[in-house]
Amino acid sequence: MLAIKRVPTVVSVNQDCGSVSRDCLQSCFLTGFDLPLFKYTKKMKTTELQLLGDEEVPSSPPTIERSFLGTLLLSKWEERASQGLFRYDVTACESRVLSGNYGFIAQLNEGRHLKKRLTEFRVDQVLQEFDPKKFNFSKVNRNEVLFQFGEGEEAGYYDITPILSSPDFVLINVSPIEYGHVLLVPRLFDFVPQRLCANDLLLALYFTAEVDCPYFRVGYNSLGAFATINHLHFQAYYLAYPFPVECASITRINKGSLKSSLRISELVDYPVKGVVYESMDLNEIAISVASTCQELELRNIPFNLLICDCGTRVFLFPQQALHQVSQKVLDTQVNPAAWEIGGHIVLKRKEDYEHATEEFVTALLAEVSLSDPDFQDVKNIICK
């Protein structure tokens, strides 16, 4: 059994109640419910438009301005904040950059973590069956749903539409790490457990690309790598500061080819071993990353993903399956998930925040990093 203590956090106000409330998303879906809808199109991604320059007219101009999705997301989030739907005001949380080589960002967030435990699932198994009795996103309060996200022939925004037949949703996280913290839940009503496939990852990449902001990053935690809910979801938030992992040195591990612009590199001199996939072609990244992750899932290797640079860079951090963690680390109740490994550390206790150092964070993150031989196995999978 895993020795690291899992820290319960709440992403929805309904997470703790046993019964299905009348206002939850599931009930509203059955009775009919209107939500805003943002449609993105896979045609003519905005990066291609940019390359045309000012003088040329793109053949199919977008019907909505670039990064409208960002404006939509922020405005809905701000609305929810003014309605008091978040458990605390994240803009009042202190942050500082720890001095040293990496520039880890520490945040003091006393409100995020709960004292009591929530119902949980096994944490040593990456693939687990969906359990409808446990909390899932159909049980969120309807107010926690910001909008639906879907693909269409033409990009567009619709203020009020009935729920689509197989909708993807963007929800708020009521215990935000940073401003704009949301959950992206692909095909919510398919009730898929937390496991990755290329199409779902591609949705997350398109989502990131549509927001079109380098401060907006999307993360994924597998079971066993500190995912809190076994219902397929990604998380995202804004941070106007570079993540330390984005600045780390990398060295290429895949061969270049004429057919593909995909570059896969490994992190050099970073506390956690990991790889990064880079390409302007989102499809390519999705297929390659998902295929590796599925292999990791089969081998019961937990992992985290961090999607950066508007979807063109994806970091993959495989984690140790079983390990001993020092008591000192356990007491801080910091779980090294995607954000933490990326370099954004949320601390719950004031003394930890005030005395946090780069050494402390490096030691914490190193606890979950794979050993050299195990990481070599992962690289072999990638370069097969």
Partner 1 sequence: MALQNGSLLSSDRKCVRSPRMKNHKLIVSQSLIRSYRASIQDELQKHAYNFVLCDPGLPDHPIVYASDGFLEMTGYSRDEVLGRNCRFLQGRDTDKRAIVEIREAIREERDCQIKILNYTKAGKPFWNLFHLAPVFSQQDGRVVHFVGVQLPISSKLAARKDGHLTGLELSFDELEFEEHFDNPSCKNYHLSEEDKQRAFAAVKAVLQELANSSCKGVSSMRSKSFSEGVIPPGFVATSLLLALTRIPHSFVLTDPHLPDMPIVHASLEFLELTGYTREEVIGRNCRFLQGPDTDLAPIEELRSSISEGQTCTVRILNYRKNKEPFWNSLHISPVRNSSGKVVSLFLTHSLKCSPFQVAYYAGIQVAVSHSSEEDEGRARMQQLGTLGAIKVAVRSIQTGAVLRKSKTIS
For partner 1, the closer CB: 111 or 193:
111
What is the pattern of x (binds partner 1, CB under 8 A) and - over residues 218-257?
--------------------xxxxx---xx-xx-------
Please give the residues from 267 up to 326 whose contact with partner 1 meets the rule CB under 8 A: 280, 308-310, 312-313
CB of 213 to partner 1, least distance (A): 7
CB of 215 to partner 1, least distance (A): 6
Residues 6+ positions from 39 with CB-CB distance below 8 Å: 150, 151, 152, 154, 155, 156, 157, 158
Q: How many CB atoms sit inside 10 A of residue 45's CB?
A: 20
**Residue among 272, 252, 216 nearest 102 (CA):** 272
What does the radius of gyration of the chain's CA atoms come to, in whole angstroms? 20
Write the DSSP symbol of residue 215.
Answer: T
180 binds partner 1 (CB under 8 A): yes
Q: Which of 3, 16, 43, 50 binds partner 1 (CB under 8 A)?
A: 50
What is the pattern of x (binds partner 1, CB under 8 A) and - over residues 124-163?
-----------------------------------x----
Catalytic residue check, 323: no
Q: Which of 16, 23, 89, 331 binds partner 1 (CB under 8 A)?
A: 89
CA of 136: how far to CAs of 42, 133, 348, 384, in Å? 29, 8, 25, 36
CA of 33: how far to CAs of 148, 150, 335, in Å? 12, 17, 37
3-state secondary structure of 63: coil
**Residue among 195, 372, 234 nearest 314 (CA):** 234
82 binds partner 1 (CB under 8 A): yes
Catalytic center residues: 233
Name the residues that contact partner 1, by CB under 8 A.
47, 50-51, 53-54, 65-67, 70-79, 82, 89, 91-97, 103, 105, 108, 159, 178-180, 213-215, 238-242, 246-247, 249-250, 261, 280, 308-310, 312-313
